[in-house]
Every structure is written in structure tokens, then in C-alpha cells.
């Protein structure tokens, strides 16, 4: 008998080679264009002095938290802006708080000064007029943004200058080449793999962001990216369009890790389970997460990230300012700093965060300009996120 571990290594040996997705391109030109801030921007900097900026952002990554601690120190030293990272597990919590403040007529002195958002949360805040702006094109560092990226649209919703692009996300899977040399290249192959080797695959539990992203990627593949996915959800068609998704998950959960009765809490747990040998695939929305995990000793050097054959679900994530912020100048100074070549190069450093930059590569330094993106698949319309989460919770959430 061949041990299961060796079987898993050989299972897809005859299939397409691993999609590594990263090139060995040389470092970019590190020089950045120089410019003198306008008198208007100098006034923003002056007014920002002494302001406290409460930034609501996901707090589930040590790398991100450390990066924001560095940001806080820089903003204090350079601009006398006090920057506080308010850790949240789901930015929808912040959106609900802002809705409550709007309903109570609290149109100034709000409790939130900056938010890290995209997709459904952006559309909800925009529709409810919860955002300050437009302000993005007035930022001095807007000149460095790579306009070939979809920086003016968020899950098909026009941003209209109400949020500034901060980074690029892509849904990828991570495997250990010593345990699984040729991983599944599609969701259908994952189902076949799970049936052959039960209890080895899983995904984070929706509505956790990575879990919902997994559902969207799965639905895109199973429906051959049905054109309806780019439009607002039609309740009459929802059951018909999503039927292949639920049929797939009914089968997958029977052979998934913990028989689909328990799910990882997020990407960090899938990485831990991969490193512990309990899972054969981890999931991330950062194609460089494998490198930062390796640098931190959380993954073996033999681990690699790859995208599925139909492409990686991709989006831009953004920074926005609530309409009633008590520190709009401080928030704009903070966002402008986070869009600087210095801050973006540090954020893209594989040993620090490794988040792909939204800036032109010519202004980035170090290994922030080293990696290439995977072929991308656009996000569905924002309304699909909430609809999928509700139906998933109804079917499997108990």
C-alpha cells in the first residue's frame, strides 16, 4: 500500500504544472517624481496637527498590525497626527455604527475617522451617504497611482473619489510541494481530490471575508462566470444560478475537514492547519502571504501560492473617510502618507506585509516591485456577497 501522503503528492502529477505566478523581474527604478505641495494641501497639513485619527481596520494579521504601528509612529513624528488602529473582525460592524450615528443626527464629531473597505461595505456606505469627499484626486500622492488598475471602480461600483486605493488582493491557495506536488487546478478537481483523500481540504467559515471569497470563486467557475453575476442579485434567478454551488458544497462538506461541521476561522488558521499537516491547502487573498509566513517561521520554505486555472478572484482594497469624521484633515494626511512610495514599498516588502502595491512600479523600491499578479477574475456585483452569505448561513451555519 502507498501511504496517503505519497498518494496526495502524486494525485495530479499528470495535470497542468503549478501556476507559480511570480516572475524574477528586476527591481524597479527607485526614483520618484518630485513635486511641491500646493498651498491648499499645506493648509490641510497644518490643520491636521494634533488631530486624533481612529482607523477602523481588520485586526486579524500580525503583519498588518505591525505595519500600522509603524505608520502610527511615522505620522506622529512627521505630521503630529495621532493615528490609532481600531481592530475589528468585520468592517460591517463599523458600517452599522455609522448608520446608527447618521440616524441619530450625529453629523460631526463622529467616532470613526478612517475605514479600510471595499465591495459591499463601500456600496452600503456610499448609498447611505456615509462618506466624506470626493477627496482622492486632491491627494499629492495620487500622481503615483497606477491608473491601469481598476482604481476608480470597486466591485463594479464607481468610487467617485470617495475612497483611495490602497492595495491589490487576489484569491490564492497555498500548498507544501513536499506533501502535494501538483495541487488541484480547479474547484472541480478539489472536489475529486477531497473524495479521494477525505478530511484534507476546507475553507474559512462565511461570512468571514476569505470564506465568502471562496464561495464567489466557486460560483464563478461552476456557472462559467454567468453574466448575471456582474448585475444586482435578482431574487427570482438567485436559486437557479446558485443551485450548482449548493450541490457542490453538499458533496464537498461530506469529505471536507471535520466533515464540514467545523470550519477554519480565517486565513491565519488555514495557514496554521497547513503547517500542522492537517490541511493540504491554505487560502489567502494576498498572493505574497506565503513569503511573509515563511519569513515569520509559520510555513516551510517548500510552500508555494498558486491561482486556479480560471484565474484569481481579484479586487482593489480602499481607504475612506466617514462623512462625520472629527479629523478629516488628519485622515487625508494619513491616507496620503499610506499612498507614498515609501509607505507602499514598505507595505509591499515580502518580509513586512507583502501586500501588492497600487503604485506604478517605477516609484517602488526593494522587493515591493518584484512580483507579478496572477491572471485575474473580476468580483461579482456587491449584492451577491450578502445574498451568498445569507444562504450559506441558512444551509450550513448551525
Rounded to the nearest 10 degrees, what angle do helices 62-79 and 341-348 cross at? 160
Whether 1 has a pLDDT exceeding 70, the answer reads no
Distance CA 311, CA 111 (A): 39
**For residue 363, what is its C-alpha cell?**
516609484
Is residue 194 within a helix (H) or strand (E), and if so which, with residue range? helix 187-196
Instruction: Give, in order, the Cα–Cα distances in Å from 185 to each of 13, 125, 240, 313, 346.
Output: 11, 36, 26, 14, 32
Which three-class secondary structure state does DSSP give residue 269? helix
Per-residue pLDDT tens over the stretch 326-365: 999 999 999 999 999 999 999 999 888 888 999 999 999 9
Please compute the mean of the pLDDT values over residues 271-294 and round it to a whole number. 92
The whole-angstrom separation of Cα 371 and Cα 178 is 23
Least confident range of 12-16, 68-72, 108-112, 191-195: 12-16
**95 has pLDDT over 80:** yes
Distances, alpha carbon 194 to alpha carbons 179, 313, 316, in Å: 15, 22, 31
Banded pLDDT at 19 (limits 50, 70, 90): very low
Q: Any idea how long the chain is? A: 398
How many CB atoms are located within 10 Å of the residue 136 CB?
Answer: 24
3-state secondary structure string, 332-347?
A: HHHHHHHCCHHHHHHH
Cell of 9: 503528492
Q: What is the pLDDT of residue 35?
A: 58
The CA distance from 203 to 267, in Å, is 8
Q: Which carries the bigger pLDDT value, residue 27 or residue 208?
A: 208
State the pLDDT at residue 289. 86
Locate 258 and state its grid cell: 471535520
Is the per-residue pLDDT at 34 higher than 50? no
DSSP state of 157: E
pTM value surpassing 0.85? no
User: What distance in Å separates the CA atoms of residue 171 and residue 64, rounded to the nearest whole number?
Assistant: 18
Phi, psi of 101 (to 5 degrees): -65, -35
Strands 52-58 and 114-117: parallel
Q: Stretch 272-294: mean pLDDT, rounded?
A: 92
132 near 326, Cβ under 8 Å? Answer: no
Beta strands in the chain (DSSP E): 52-58, 82-88, 114-117, 153-154, 157-158, 163-170, 172-176, 282-284, 303-306, 312-320, 376-378
Q: Is residue 127 scored above 50 in pLDDT?
A: yes
Complete domains list, the chain, with CATH: 4-23+170-314+381-396 (3.40.190.10), 39-168+317-371 (3.40.190.10)
Radius of gyration of the chain (CA): 22
pLDDT class of 371 with cuts at 50, 70, 90:
low
**In contact, 77 and 70? CB cutoff 8 Å:** no
User: Whole-angstrom Cα distance, residue 200 to residue 197?
Assistant: 6
Inter-axis angle of helices 328-338 and 62-79, to 10 degrees? Answer: 120
Higher pLDDT, 28 or 216: 216
Q: In 3D, which of 47, 62, 51, 58 has the Cα closest to residue 115?
A: 58
Q: Please report the pLDDT score of residue 350 as a whole number.
A: 84
Going by the DSSP 8-state scheme, the letter that residue 13 receives in this structure is T
| Nearest Cα residue to 393 out of 15, 148, 310, 385 | 385
Amino acid at each position: 500500500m502507498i501511504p496517503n501522503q505519497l498518494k496526495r503528492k502524486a494525485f495530479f502529477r499528470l495535470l497542468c504544472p503549478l501556476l507559480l505566478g511570480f516572475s524574477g523581474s528586476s527591481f524597479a527604478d527607485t526614483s520618484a517624481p518630485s513635486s511641491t505641495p500646493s498651498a491648499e494641501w499645506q493648509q490641510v497639513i497644518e490643520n491636521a496637527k494634533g488631530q486624533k485619527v481612529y482607523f477602523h481596520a481588520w485586526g486579524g494579521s500580525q503583519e498588518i498590525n505591525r505595519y500600522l504601528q509603524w505608520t502610527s509612529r511615522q505620522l506622529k513624528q512627521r505630521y503630529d497626527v495621532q493615528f490609532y488602529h481600531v481592530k475589528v473582525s468585520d468592517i460591517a460592524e463599523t458600517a452599522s455604527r455609522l448608520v446608527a450615528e447618521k440616524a441619530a443626527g450625529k453629523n460631526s464629531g463622529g467616532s470613526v475617522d478612517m475605514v479600510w473597505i471595499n465591495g459591499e461595505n463601500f456600496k452600503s456606505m456610499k448609498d447611505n451617504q456615509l462618506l466624506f469627499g470626493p477627496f482622492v484626486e486632491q491627494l499629492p500622492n495620487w500622481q503615483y497611482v497606477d491608473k491601469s488598475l481598476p482604481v476608480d471602480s470597486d466591485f463594479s461600483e464607481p468610487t467617485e473619489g470617495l475612497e483611495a486605493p490602497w492595495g491589490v488582493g487576489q484569491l490564492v491557495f497555498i500548498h507544501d510541494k513536499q506533501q502535494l506536488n501538483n495541487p488541484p487546478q480547479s474547484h472541480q478537481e478539489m472536489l475529486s481530490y477531497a473524495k479521494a483523500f477525505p478530511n484534507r481540504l476546507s475553507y474559512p467559515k462565511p461570512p468571514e471575508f476569505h470564506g465568502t471569497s471562496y464561495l464567489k470563486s466557486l460560483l464563478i467557475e461552476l456557472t462559467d462566470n454567468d453574466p448575471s453575476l456582474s448585475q444586482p442579485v435578482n431574487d427570482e434567478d438567485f436559486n437557479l444560478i446558485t443551485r450548482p454551488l449548493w450541490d457542490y458544497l453538499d458533496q464537498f462538506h461530506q469529505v471536507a475537514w471535520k466533515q464540514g461541521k467545523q470550519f477554519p476561522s480565517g486565513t491565519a488558521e488555514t495557514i496554521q492547519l497547513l503547517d500542522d499537516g492537517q490541511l493540504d491547502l491554505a487560502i489567502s487573498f494576498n498572493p505574497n502571504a506565503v513569503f511573509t509566513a515563511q519569513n515569520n517561521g509559520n510555513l516551510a520554505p517548500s510552500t508555494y501560492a498558486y491561482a486556479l486555472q480560471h484565474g484569481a478572484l481579484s479586487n482593489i482594497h480602499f481607504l475612506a473617510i466617514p462623512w462625520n469624521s472629527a479629523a478629516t484633515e488628519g485622515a487625508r494626511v494619513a491616507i496620503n502618507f499610506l499612498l507614498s512610495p515609501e509607505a507602499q514599498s514598505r507595505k509591499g516588502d515580502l518580509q513586512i506585509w507583502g501586500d501588492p502595491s497600487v503604485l506604478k512600479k517605477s516609484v517602488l523600491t526593494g522587493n515591493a516591485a518584484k512580483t507579478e499578479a496572477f491572471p485575474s477574475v473580476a468580483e461579482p456585483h456587491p449584492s451577491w456577497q450578502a445574498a451568498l452569505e445569507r444562504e450559506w448561513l441558512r444551509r450550513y451555519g448551525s
